[in-house]
A = this chain, B = another copy of it.
Protein backbone atom coordinates (compact mmCIF):
# COMPACT_ATOMS: atom_id res chain seq x y z
CA UNK A 1 0.00 0.00 0.00
CA UNK A 2 1.55 3.27 -1.15
CA UNK A 3 2.07 5.91 1.52
CA UNK A 4 2.24 8.78 -0.95
CA UNK A 5 -0.30 9.44 -3.68
CA UNK A 6 0.84 10.50 -7.15
CA UNK A 7 -1.23 12.28 -9.71
CA UNK A 8 -2.69 10.18 -12.50
CA UNK A 9 -4.46 11.31 -15.69
CA UNK A 10 -6.34 8.00 -15.82
CA UNK A 11 -7.68 8.45 -12.30
CA UNK A 12 -8.82 11.99 -13.14
CA UNK A 13 -10.66 10.64 -16.18
CA UNK A 14 -12.29 7.82 -14.17
CA UNK A 15 -13.72 10.09 -11.51
CA UNK A 16 -14.78 12.62 -14.14
CA UNK A 17 -16.56 9.84 -16.02
CA UNK A 18 -18.46 8.76 -12.91
CA UNK A 19 -19.36 12.35 -12.00
CA UNK A 20 -20.41 13.49 -15.45
CA UNK A 21 -23.17 10.92 -15.89
CA UNK A 22 -26.31 10.20 -13.93
CA UNK A 23 -26.27 6.57 -15.07
CA UNK A 24 -24.36 5.27 -12.01
CA UNK A 25 -21.93 3.26 -14.13
CA UNK A 26 -20.22 -0.04 -13.38
CA UNK A 27 -16.47 -0.59 -13.69
CA UNK A 28 -17.04 -2.21 -17.08
CA UNK A 29 -19.08 0.79 -18.27
CA UNK A 30 -16.40 3.25 -17.17
CA UNK A 31 -13.83 1.12 -18.97
CA UNK A 32 -15.86 1.07 -22.21
CA UNK A 33 -16.43 4.81 -22.19
CA UNK A 34 -12.80 5.73 -21.52
CA UNK A 35 -11.29 3.44 -24.13
CA UNK A 36 -12.00 6.09 -26.81
CA UNK A 37 -9.78 8.56 -24.98
CA UNK A 38 -7.25 6.01 -23.62
CA UNK A 39 -7.06 3.17 -26.17
CA UNK A 40 -4.76 1.00 -24.07
CA UNK A 41 -6.55 1.53 -20.76
CA UNK A 42 -6.65 -1.65 -18.70
CA UNK A 43 -9.73 -2.87 -16.89
CA UNK A 44 -7.53 -3.52 -13.86
CA UNK A 45 -6.68 0.17 -13.76
CA UNK A 46 -10.36 1.04 -13.59
CA UNK A 47 -10.97 -1.37 -10.72
CA UNK A 48 -7.82 -0.23 -8.90
CA UNK A 49 -8.79 3.44 -9.12
CA UNK A 50 -12.41 2.83 -8.23
CA UNK A 51 -11.17 1.14 -5.04
CA UNK A 52 -8.89 4.13 -4.31
CA UNK A 53 -11.61 6.69 -4.98
CA UNK A 54 -13.96 4.81 -2.74
CA UNK A 55 -11.42 4.73 0.11
CA UNK A 56 -10.98 8.48 -0.27
CA UNK A 57 -14.75 9.00 -0.18
CA UNK A 58 -14.84 10.50 -3.68
CA UNK A 59 -17.41 7.97 -4.85
CA UNK A 60 -19.83 5.55 -3.22
CA UNK A 61 -21.35 2.26 -4.22
CA UNK A 62 -25.06 2.20 -5.01
CA UNK A 63 -25.09 -1.60 -4.77
CA UNK A 64 -25.04 -4.58 -7.13
CA UNK A 65 -27.37 -4.70 -10.11
CA UNK A 66 -27.33 -7.79 -12.28
CA UNK A 67 -24.07 -8.92 -10.71
CA UNK A 68 -22.23 -5.64 -11.34
CA UNK A 69 -21.43 -3.04 -8.70
CA UNK A 70 -22.65 0.44 -9.62
CA UNK A 71 -21.08 3.70 -8.48
CA UNK A 72 -22.21 7.23 -7.77
CA UNK A 73 -20.08 10.38 -7.86
CA UNK A 74 -22.65 12.18 -5.69
CA UNK A 75 -21.77 11.07 -2.18
CA UNK A 76 -24.53 12.86 -0.25
CA UNK A 77 -27.34 10.65 1.06
CA UNK A 78 -30.10 10.32 -1.52
CA UNK A 79 -32.38 7.48 -2.60
CA UNK A 80 -32.20 5.54 -5.87
CA UNK A 81 -34.60 3.63 -8.04
CA UNK A 82 -33.40 0.40 -9.67
CA UNK A 83 -35.31 -1.09 -12.58
CA UNK A 84 -35.57 -4.87 -12.12
CA UNK A 85 -36.19 -5.16 -15.84
CA UNK A 86 -33.36 -3.21 -17.55
CA UNK A 87 -31.04 -2.50 -14.62
CA UNK A 88 -31.25 1.29 -14.88
CA UNK A 89 -30.25 3.13 -11.71
CA UNK A 90 -31.98 6.49 -11.37
CA UNK A 91 -31.80 9.22 -8.72
CA UNK A 92 -35.14 10.02 -7.14
CA UNK A 93 -36.04 13.20 -5.31
CA UNK A 94 -38.66 12.96 -2.62
CA UNK A 95 -40.90 15.76 -1.37
CA UNK A 96 -39.39 15.43 2.08
CA UNK A 97 -36.28 13.48 3.10
CA UNK A 98 -37.12 10.17 4.79
CA UNK A 99 -36.48 10.42 8.49
CA UNK A 100 -33.00 9.38 9.49
CA UNK A 101 -33.44 7.15 12.54
CA UNK A 102 -29.65 6.92 12.87
CA UNK A 103 -29.62 8.35 16.40
CA UNK A 104 -32.48 6.10 17.43
CA UNK A 105 -30.61 3.02 16.17
CA UNK A 106 -27.39 4.05 17.89
CA UNK A 107 -29.26 4.57 21.15
CA UNK A 108 -31.38 1.42 21.05
CA UNK A 109 -28.82 -1.04 19.66
CA UNK A 110 -25.45 0.40 20.61
CA UNK A 111 -24.31 0.63 16.99
CA UNK A 112 -22.45 3.42 15.24
CA UNK A 113 -24.40 4.11 12.08
CA UNK A 114 -22.24 5.88 9.49
CA UNK A 115 -24.45 5.91 6.42
CA UNK A 116 -27.46 4.28 4.85
CA UNK A 117 -28.90 3.24 1.52
CA UNK A 118 -32.52 3.60 0.45
CA UNK A 119 -33.34 1.86 -2.81
CA UNK A 120 -36.69 1.46 -4.53
CA UNK A 121 -37.15 -1.39 -7.00
CA UNK A 122 -39.68 -1.91 -9.79
CA UNK A 123 -40.17 -1.15 -13.48
CA UNK A 124 -39.01 2.08 -15.09
CA UNK A 125 -41.10 4.04 -17.61
CA UNK A 126 -39.39 2.53 -20.66
CA UNK A 127 -39.87 -1.03 -19.44
CA UNK A 128 -43.55 -0.41 -18.63
CA UNK A 129 -44.16 0.84 -22.18
CA UNK A 130 -42.27 -1.84 -24.08
Interface residues of A (CB under 8 A from B): 63-64, 79, 81, 83-84, 90, 92, 94-96, 98-99, 101-102, 104-105, 109-125, 128
Contacts and interface: CB of A to CB of B under 8 A. Distances in A.
Given A63-B64, A64-B64, A113 B121 contact: yes
A96 B102 CA distance: 13
A125 B83 CA distance: 35
A27 to B, nearest CB: 14
A116 B115 contact: no
A123 B84 CA distance: 30
Nearest to A85: B112
Contact of A125 (B96, B99, B110, B115): B110
A6 B24 CA distance: 41
A120 B102 contact: yes
Contacts of A115: 120-122
A119 to B, nearest CB: 5
Contacts of A110: 125, 128
Contacts of A109: 81, 90, 92, 124-125
Contact of A81 (B63, B95, B99, B113): B113
A120 B113 contact: yes
